[in-house]
Chains A and B, each alone.
Chain A
Amino acid sequence: MSLEETQVQTAGTHQRPYIQAPSGKGRMRAHIRKHAMPYLLILPSLLFLVAIEFYPLGVGLLEAFKYHNRVQPWATQYNGIDNFVKAFNDHTVRIALRTSFVMVFGIVGLSYLLGLLSGVLLNQRLRLRGVYRALILIPWVAPPVVSFISWQWMLNDQSGIINRILINLGIIGEFDPILWLADPTLAMVSIIVVGTWSRFPFMMITVLAALSAIPDDLNEAAAVDGATPFQTFRHITFPLILPVSVIATLLQAIWVFNDFGLPFVLTGGGPANATTPLILLAYKEAFQRFNIGYGTSLAVISMVLMLALGAVYLRLQAKQQGEMS
C-alpha cells in the first residue's frame, strides 16, 4: 500500500474525478492504481468463489460423465452420457423428480398463501403487531434441525403429541394411530405442512415489506371511491405486490428444491422412497451407495432445472431494479 500513500490524485470514484491527475509517469501510475483497486478489493471473494464454488462445480461436471464408485475406485472411467441415460430410464429418478415438484408446488404455494394472509393482517394499525411479527418469524431463524426433530416427535404415531391429543379427544382409537410419517401419502402431507411452516415467515416479511411501500393515499382513494376492502386488495394492493411476490416465490422454489434437511431429518425420504426428492436421491446415490458419478449426474440434472428458474429470477430482478431507478 505504499504506492497508495503517495497517491492523493485520482483514486476517486468513477463519477467524480475530483482532483486532476498529474502528468507523465505519475498519471500512468494513477491510472493503474485507479483501475487495479476494485480488482484487488474483489480478489479475496473471487478466490473463495473459485475454490469453493466453481472449481468443485467443474470437477462435479466431469464426475457426472464418469463411472465412479468409491467401492471400486480402480474401475473409474469416463462413460459419456451413460449416467444421464441411466437417470432418464430410472424409475426412482422419475418418482424423485415428481416428489420434488410436489414438494415445491405444495410448499411454495401454501407458504405464499399463508405468508400473504399474515402479511396483510399485520399491515394494519394493530395492538401487539410487533409481538405477532417477531413470534411468527421464529421458524425462519430457528435451527432447522431442531425444528424438524421437534416436528418429527410431534408427528410420531406412538409418542407424538398430535396423535395423543387426537386419542384423548376420542377422534381416533388408541390402537389406531394416524401414521403421519409412515404412510406414503400422509408423509408427503407432513413434509408439505412442515415445509410450509418453515417457509411462510419469509413470505410474510417479503409481503409486509412490499405492502409498506404502498402509499396510504392509494387505498384511501379507493375507499373514497366506494371500493370494498376486497376490491381494493384485488385491484390495487395485489397488483402492486405482485412483482415482489413473483421473485420471492421463485427464490423460495429454488430453496425448497435444494432443501436437503427437511426430508432427510423429518422422514429420511421414506417410507420407501415416497418422500425422497431428487436432491436427496443424489445424496443417497453418492454418499450411501458410493456412486459418485451417478449421484453427481443427478445433482447436475437438478442444477440445470434450478438454473433455468434462476435465469428467470435474475431477469425479473433486473427488470424490477430498472423500473425502480
Chain B
Amino acid sequence: MMVTVSEKPVVPAQAHDLNTSGRSRRRRRRVHGGKIVWSIVTHVLLILITLFAIAPLAWAMSSAFKTNSEILTGLNFFPRNPTWDNFAFVLGSTEFPTWLRNSLLVAFGTTFLALIIGSLGGYAMSRWRYRGRALYGNTLLIVQMFPGVMLAIPLFLLLSDYGLIDTLWALLVTYLTFALAFSVWMLKGYFDAIPREIEEAALIDGANRMQILWRIVLPLAGPGITTVAVFTFLLAWNEFFFAYVFLASPGKYTLSIGMYSFIQQFTTQWGNIMAAGTLTTLPVLIFFFVLQRALTRGLVSGAMKG
C-alpha cells in the first residue's frame, strides 16, 4: 500500500495540491503503522479473552489425566505421566455409565419430541393467520421468564401426586416444554423462507397438510432442524436445577446431578471428578465444533426472537 502511494505520479498542478498529497502520504504511513500495532493489540487481547474462556475446562481436562499426587502438588498444565486411571475409575467403579445412559435417554427423547411438536407449532405460526396467533407466540416467550423455582415447587408437588417424581419422564416433559419456545419460533423462521408455491403444487396434487409438512417442508428446513435439535439436546444435557429437584435416587441421576453428587462424595479426589467432568463435556464440545457455524447463527437469531 505504501509503495503504491509513493509511486503514484503526483501532478504538481498547484502547490496547494502537492502539499495536501504530501500530508496524506505521511498520514497514511502513520495509519499503516497504527494498523500493525492495532493488529498486535487485537491478537493479544483476544488471546487473553480466549484463555479466560477456556481456562476452567482446559484445567479440568488436563487434570483428568494426572495422577493424584501430581494434582495436589504440580502447577504444570500438561500431565507429566498421563494416566487413564481416573477415567477407568469413573467408568468402572461409579454409577457414571448409568447417568450417561439416563442423560442420553432424556436428551434424545426431548430432542425428538421437541422437533415434532415444535414443527407443528412453527408451521401453524408460519402459514396461518388465526385468532390467538399473537397470543400463542407471546405466551411462548413469556413463559421463559417464569423463574424455575416458581415452577419447580408446584411441579414437584404435582409430579409427586402422579408418581412421576424421581423418574426420567418428569425431566423429559419439563425440558420439552422449555424447548418449545425456541423450537416453534426458530422453525417458524425457517418455514417462512420456504416458498409457498411448492406446497401449493403439492396441495393441488392431493397431498394433505401433514404430508406436506413431513415430506416437503421439514426436509427443506434442514438447517433449522439441526439448530433446534442441537439446542434442545444441549438444554436437556446441561440442565441442572430441575434434575436436582426431581431426581432422588442415584440410579435415576442425569450427568449434571451425578457430577454434583461427586463433589459431595469424593471431596478431594479432583482427578476423578475432573475425569467425569471431561466425559460429560466432551459430547457437547464435539457437537458444538462440528455444527458451530449453523448453530451460532441460529441461536443468535433465536435468542433475539425469544
Contacts and interface: CB of A to CB of B under 8 A. Distances in A.
Contacts of A159: 72, 268, 270
A225 B42 CA distance: 24
A159 B273 CA distance: 14
Given A5-B208, A164-B75, A59 B158 contact: yes
A197 B238 contact: no
Interface in B112-126: 116-118, 120-121, 123-125
Contacts of B146: 53, 57, 303, 306
Contacts of B123: 41
Interface in A49-93: 49, 51-57, 59-60, 63
A42 interface: yes
B2 interface: no
Contact of B154 (A63, A147, A149, A313): A63
Contacts of B300: 205-206, 208-209
B299 A143 contact: no
Interface stretch (A22-30, A120-128, A180-188): A120-128
Interface of B is mostly: helix
A143 B148 contact: no
Interface string B129-154: 11011001011111101111111111
B173 A51 contact: yes
A114 B77 CA distance: 26
Contacts of B78: none
Interface residues of A, number: 105
B120 A118 contact: no
Interface residues of B, number: 97
A261 B240 contact: yes
Contacts of A314: 138, 141-142
Nearest to A143: B238
Nearest to B297: A209
A265 B257 CA distance: 11
B104 interface: no
A138 B53 contact: yes
A136 to B, nearest CB: 5
Nearest first, the 6 A-B pairs at minimum CB distance are A41-B124, A56-B154, A38-B128, A52-B177, A4-B208, A310-B145
10 contacts: A37-B124, A38-B130, A41-B124, A142-B238, A145-B238, A146-B60, A197-B52, A206-B303, A286-B149, A292-B157
Interface of B: 39, 42-43, 45-46, 49-50, 52-57, 59-60, 72, 75, 116-118, 120-121, 123-125, 127-130, 132-133, 136, 138-143, 145-158, 173-174, 176-177, 180, 184, 196, 200, 203-204, 206, 208-210, 234, 237-238, 240-241, 245, 255-256, 259-260, 263, 268, 270, 273-274, 277, 280-281, 284-285, 288-289, 292, 296-297, 299-301, 303-305
